[in-house]
Amino acid sequence: MDNRFGKLISYEQNKNQIKVTYANGEVFFTVVKDDIIRVTVPYFCKDYISKAMEQDKSQDAEFSVQKSAEKVAIVTSKLQLVIADNFTTEFYSADGQLLVRDYCGDRTVEKRVSWETMEMLEAEGHDTSNLQEDQIRFQIVKTIEDGDDFYGLGDKSGFMNKKHYEYENWNSDLPQAHNEDFKALYKSVPILMCLKKSAAYGIFFDNTFRSKINLGKENPEYYFYTAEEGNLDYYFIAGTDLRDIVSGYTYLTGTTPLPQMWTLGYQQSRWGYECADDINYVVDNYRKEQIPLDVIHFDIDYMEHYKVFTWDEKNYGPKGELFDSLRARGVKPVTIIDPGTKLEKGYFMCDEGTEKGYFATDKDGDIYVNAVWPGDSNFPDFGREEVRNWWADKHQILVDMGVAGVWNDMNEPASFHGELPQDVVFYDEDRKTTHAEMHNLYGHLMSKSTFEGLKAQTGKRPFVITRACYAGTQKYSTVWTGDNQSLWHHLQMMIPQLCNLGLSGFAFCGTDVGGFGADCTPELLCRWIEAGCFSPLFRNHSAKGTKKQEPWRFGQEVVDINRKYIELRYKFLPYIYDLFYQGETTGLPVMRPLVLHYPNDPEVRDLNSEYLVGEAILVAPVLEQGVTRRMVYLPEGVWYDYWTGERVEGKQYILREAPIDVCPIYIKAGSLIPTYDVVQYVGEKPYDRVTLLATPGEARYTHFQDNGEDYAYQEGAYNLYEFVVDESEKLHTNMIHKGYTPYEEITIQWIGK
Ligand code: MIG
């Protein structure tokens, strides 16, 4: 509600859009589909085109509009919206259950401290952002009902349930250890999901300016969302539980596309592999220790003076040579690319970008300069298609050398001499605008450009990893959670952070295994490899100057434990790949919080220490130093201990022994899980046989098989198998679609029998 609007006067319908006229303003309500209504007040730009969506997502949904006594109601088969004076809205489910309504009282803003006090607090190094007056273009305030819990919001730090916390959307590269009181990290994914006692809804706030969301921290009676500029523009998604909300949200912003199979293999990285020998040593050691490895990452060290799209021949040898030799060993090279291009006459990126006017400028039109790794640098204006195409084309240089994927860093954008001023000029296609609007889109648009370049140049499914992004970036890129540290509480944060990213559309996400900053310990690396072995992006990465973090740096026991869990990962690859294949259609993530599948179980609403892989696998890793047994919650149903085959009844807490080499894993009764023989890298041997792990009970499972690399599957070059286990525990196989070389052998292996 907003008092400035005044009395509701009339409404006007134009196809699926209802314009409501108030005494002092207009609001547009668009029925996108039967469970999604968009609400817009075009304060900023009348025909704003969302960057999160690639096209208008409106369907021809049936709905009716009724006006009675100063109220307008929009009714679809799944949702009812009642609109009243002062832009007051109430959303109900189809059966009349209240989902949410606008809060009609005043916000109880706490008294701010004086400027003098503030200065003293700042001088002492305290964070005073809390105490400053908000800059607000608009605000929406909605009620929190008894039993509401909140999820989603991308990569925010802290716990699974976001209730009673406050966040900001402003892509930020903060070097301190990320804690649960951090308001913003690298990504802005403003999809809020509310799970109620027996319903759910989502609100996607599609605004790229700095915005805030306060989920009952100010007052437990309401939550609010504010933005500094832009349109009030949100999509309301109605559903029964979080699955519906994920589905509605990814319907709007897109699902994570099926990746190449090898990108799901194990990856090693470090900032500080300074020459070809460093890289060769690491790769050869993996092979020697017989620990599978698919990818090696090249951090900024590989470039000449950190100039993007160059290669340091002095330390890494002739272009292409090292990459060829890595590929001969089955290892795919991924190189980092930052957006800042060195300001240096004679450097092709600088010359071309300057001449063509591709860089952001200050408000007076001079090319804007700030420092990043190469020193003074310029920032490509990715908001313009021409610039994105130029940048995309440059990837040919990398592809020609043999690069298999690209890792986009520093694209918040981060800068060493303070943040880019708000008024630096960027474009939204041909509309001139500022950093204030484009900041949160910078990583999104850079990833889109990278994705399109790699796709055109290789014909393969691009492997892009980005640090900064916006809603919808999942269509172009996988993400990692940036600079975590080798801290137990960062291992603990991995589960809620990746699960919330997954709910927010990013099925392909991961954290730096072992921690990026600070020094890892043998025990922490073991527990991290165990906890992370089902995380979609599975990469060990660490910072220059910290303790080296490859498994053999910590002794034989750590090597053996790493091998055990990395082999487990390779065994389960076809299952993870199937989850991606299904997710491309459903939007559901690979790594899932239990609350996604057990919405009616109060025990799982705040569960931060366990996760599901699809529906069949439950992982309950040890996340604390020195701990060798843990309490595991199993939700309803029957579960089988993966290691011992023991049958355990669900809906209870159990105590599981978990010495340093054991990560408790449970398989749901009536599951079929495809597995492959362990290889040292994807492509070492043909995947010509599949073993189905089965737990007792009737089961049905659909399995996808293709070449794992390109888009041929979209033309039918794949197999789809339906496996059924009947009540006599006999396996039946149906080929539902045949378009690829089938397996030579399909076997079943029982757990718990
Ligand atoms: O200012 O490229 O998050 O993964 O190793 C640090 C060096 C820049 C930050 C990334 C990290 C990467 C590092 N980068």
- Structure confidence at residue 112 (pLDDT): 67
Residue 119 has pLDDT above 90, yes or no: no
CA–CA gap between residue 607 and residue 161 (Å, rounded): 8
- Structure confidence at residue 640 (pLDDT): 98
Regarding the beta carbon of 298 and ligand 1, being less than 6 Å apart is answered no
Tokens of 501: 């990213």
Regarding the beta carbon of 311 and ligand 1, being less than 6 Å apart is answered no
Number of neighbours of residue 559 by Cβ within 10 angstroms: 18
DSSP string, 85-102: GGGEEEEEETTS-EEEEB
- DSSP 8-state secondary structure symbol assigned to residue 713: G
- Structure confidence at residue 554 (pLDDT): 98
Question: For the segment 269-287, what is each residue's pLDDT rounded down to a tens digit?
Answer: 999 999 999 999 999 999 9
Residues forming the active site: 409, 412, 483
How large is the average pLDDT for residues 205-215? 98
* 540 Cα: distance to centroid of ligand 1 (angstroms): 13
Backbone angles phi, psi at 83, to 5 degrees: -115, 130
Shortest CA distance to 590 belongs to which of 679, 501, 676? Answer: 501
**Among the atoms of ligand 1, which is closest to the Cα of residue 482?**
3
Helix axes 442-458, 385-401, angle to 10 degrees: 50
- Structure confidence at residue 274 (pLDDT): 97
* 339 Cα: distance to centroid of ligand 1 (angstroms): 13
8 A C-beta contact, residue 34 and residue 57: no
* Mean pLDDT for all residues in the chain: 97
- Structure confidence at residue 136 (pLDDT): 87
pTM for the predicted model, two decimal places: 0.98
Q: Which amino acid is it at 296?
A: I
Question: For the segment 720-753, what is each residue's pLDDT rounded down to a tens digit?
Answer: 999 999 999 999 999 999 999 999 999 999 999 8
Mutate to test the pocket of ligand 1, among 409, 512, 539 (most ligand atoms within 8 A of CB): 409
**CA distances from residue 692 to 572, 592, 698, 702, 723 in whole angstroms, order as listed:** 10, 22, 14, 12, 9
The edge-to-edge listing of strands for the beta sheet with 98-101 is 63-68, 71-76, 79-84, 88-93, 98-101
Mutate to test the pocket of ligand 1, among 187, 483, 490, 511 (most ligand atoms within 8 A of CB): 483
* 246 Cα: distance to centroid of ligand 1 (angstroms): 31
Regarding the beta carbon of 467 and ligand 1, being less than 6 Å apart is answered yes
Tokens of 132: 């400053």
Which residue did the predictor score with more confidence, 117 or 253?
A: 253
Regarding the beta carbon of 338 and ligand 1, being less than 6 Å apart is answered no
**Among the atoms of ligand 1, which is closest to the Cα of residue 271?**
5
Alpha helices (H) along 223-333: 242-253, 276-288, 313-316, 321-328
8 A C-beta contact, residue 459 and residue 488: no
Checking DSSP bridges between strand 719-725 and strand 699-705, what pairing results, if any? antiparallel
Q: Which of 114-118, 162-166, 334-338, 614-618 has the lowest mean pLDDT?
A: 114-118
CA–CA gap between residue 61 and residue 686 (Å, rounded): 47
Shortest CA distance to 200 belongs to which of 229, 243, 166? Answer: 243
Can you say whether residue 705 is alpha, beta or left, with left for phi > 0 and alpha for psi between -120 and 50 degrees?
beta
How large is the average pLDDT for residues 619-636? 98
* 487 Cα: distance to centroid of ligand 1 (angstroms): 18
* 409 Cα: distance to centroid of ligand 1 (angstroms): 7
* 109 Cα: distance to centroid of ligand 1 (angstroms): 38
CA–CA gap between residue 281 and residue 244 (Å, rounded): 48
Regarding the beta carbon of 300 and ligand 1, being less than 6 Å apart is answered yes
Residue 99 has pLDDT above 80, yes or no: yes
Shortest CA distance to 748 belongs to which of 732, 727, 735, 728? Answer: 732
Regarding the beta carbon of 482 and ligand 1, being less than 6 Å apart is answered yes
Q: Return the residue whose CA atom lies nearest to atom 12 of ligand 1.
A: 271
Regarding the beta carbon of 584 and ligand 1, being less than 6 Å apart is answered no
Computed on alpha carbons and rounded to an integer, the radius of gyration of the chain in Å comes to: 26
How large is the average pLDDT for residues 686-696? 98
Regarding the beta carbon of 409 and ligand 1, being less than 6 Å apart is answered yes
Residue 74 has pLDDT above 90, yes or no: yes
Regarding the beta carbon of 90 and ligand 1, being less than 6 Å apart is answered no
Number of neighbours of residue 143 by Cβ within 10 angstroms: 17
CA–CA gap between residue 514 and residue 531 (Å, rounded): 10
User: What is the share, in percent, of the chain residues with pLDDT greater than 70?
Assistant: 100
Question: For the segment 15-52, what is each residue's pLDDT rounded down to a tens digit?
Answer: 999 999 999 999 999 999 999 999 999 999 998 999 99
Question: For the segment 644-684, what is each residue's pLDDT rounded down to a tens digit?
Answer: 999 999 999 999 999 999 999 999 999 999 999 999 999 99
Number of neighbours of residue 126 by Cβ within 10 angstroms: 12
Q: How confident is the model at residue 117 (pLDDT cuts 50, 70, 90)?
A: confident
- SS3 state of residue 649: strand
CA–CA gap between residue 166 and residue 349 (Å, rounded): 41
Mutate to test the pocket of ligand 1, among 273, 299, 511, 512 (most ligand atoms within 8 A of CB): 299
Regarding the beta carbon of 299 and ligand 1, being less than 6 Å apart is answered yes
- Structure confidence at residue 738 (pLDDT): 98
- Structure confidence at residue 118 (pLDDT): 80
Q: Return the residue whose CA atom lies nearest to atom 6 of ligand 1.
A: 410
Alpha helices (H) along 289-346: 313-316, 321-328
Shortest CA distance to 512 belongs to which of 504, 523, 500, 531? Answer: 531
Residue 111 has pLDDT above 80, yes or no: no
Q: Which amino acid is it at 238?
A: A
Regarding the beta carbon of 37 and ligand 1, being less than 6 Å apart is answered no
8 A C-beta contact, residue 18 and residue 64: no
CA–CA gap between residue 191 and residue 237 (Å, rounded): 10
Regarding the beta carbon of 412 and ligand 1, being less than 6 Å apart is answered no
Residue 224 has pLDDT above 90, yes or no: yes
Q: Return the residue whose CA atom lies nearest to atom 5 of ligand 1.
A: 271
**Among the atoms of ligand 1, which is closest to the Cα of residue 543?**
5
**Among the atoms of ligand 1, which is closest to the Cα of residue 516?**
4
**Residue bearing tokens 């020195």:** 626
How large is the average pLDDT for residues 579-596? 98
How large is the average pLDDT for residues 534-550? 98
Question: For the segment 381-434, what is each residue's pLDDT rounded down to a tens digit?
Answer: 999 999 999 999 999 999 999 999 999 999 999 999 999 999 999 999 999 999
Regarding the beta carbon of 465 and ligand 1, being less than 6 Å apart is answered no
How large is the average pLDDT for residues 581-593? 98
Percent of residues in the chain assigned helix, strand, coil, to nearest 5: 25, 30, 45
* 643 Cα: distance to centroid of ligand 1 (angstroms): 37
* 485 Cα: distance to centroid of ligand 1 (angstroms): 12
Residue 132 has pLDDT above 90, yes or no: no
Residue 73 has pLDDT above 70, yes or no: yes
**Among the atoms of ligand 1, which is closest to the Cα of residue 373?**
1
